[in-house]
Structure 1
Amino acid sequence: MRARVLIRSLVGMAVVAAGVTLTITSGSAQPGPPPAGAPKAAAQVDAGPQPPPAAVAAQVRNAAPGRELGKGPSLRVDEVATAGAKAPAVRLTISGTFPLRDLDPTVLVDNTPVGRGITAADAGSLRVAVGDPSVLKTGAVVAYRYGTGPVTVVGALTQGVR
């Protein structure tokens, strides 16, 4: 009840919060330009690479192990066939325990995001389709992070993609 009274009393007024102007008309808020001298809104956080299409993600998650291209402690790089693709996908698998979360982790190779991790059905590994397999060279350090959280280093590839 209080919210309705407050909204009705604000109709026709402009409200400034965190550098964003909301013009309230008829009980609805519409975004407007920030007023002169208002603080700039915080920079948007890069959510990392876009997740693969659902069909590709399912294939990367569920495909049987393919031809091994590289490896390391708790790491495996293999080639998996994906329906409709001209060439097989290169998949990086990180072994460990990965409970499902609201946000897929971003997988990093030498501190560069390479893709969104896809948790295996048994939550025992994280898999990612790598668009540029040349980054998976011997000695490349593999890590992951959830959102803007801390980076978890998995290890280095002891045998990279040839």
Structure 2
Amino acid sequence: MARSTARSDIRLRPARPGEEAALSALCLRSKGHWGYDAAFMDAVAPFLRVTGEAIRKGHATVAESAGGRVLGVCQIDPDGHGGSLDLLFIEPDAIGTGAGRALFEHAKAQLRALGLPVMTILSDPYAEPAYLHMGARRVEMRASDVFKGRELPWLEVDL
């Protein structure tokens, strides 16, 4: 059942089996919004997948409009680095609507309910300002697993 968020036109619901491909495509559209070239997108695509396992475990959440349009998705990993926000992506035309904040707060609540004290995020540099605005703090820069010489912000949020 859809759950209302602070904005009445955005609802959160668990991702459903069979949505993996569509939600992973959303992740790629969102990442591509920042102007990355095709070679970059091909290299990161394997890391931007909503998994069937995350869906089965209840670790993937969808934000949708009251009319049922998917606006964004997030995926957590309670076993990753104490508790990580693995994915949070918003349809490019829905950036700024509150869908990202709703998913972010939901991910925090899920990890907090599991007894974890911190949510970690290996952030895209373009997404870091949004995470900082929502209360994350930069801990350090970490080397990318995909691109030699590229560093990514490592963020934490107290739960």
TM-score exceeds 0.5: no
Q: Which has the higher strand share?
A: 1
State the TM bucket, normalised to the shorter chain. under 0.3
**TM-score, with structure 2 as normaliser:** 0.27
Larger radius of gyration: 1
Q: What TM-score comes out, normalization by structure 1 length? A: 0.27
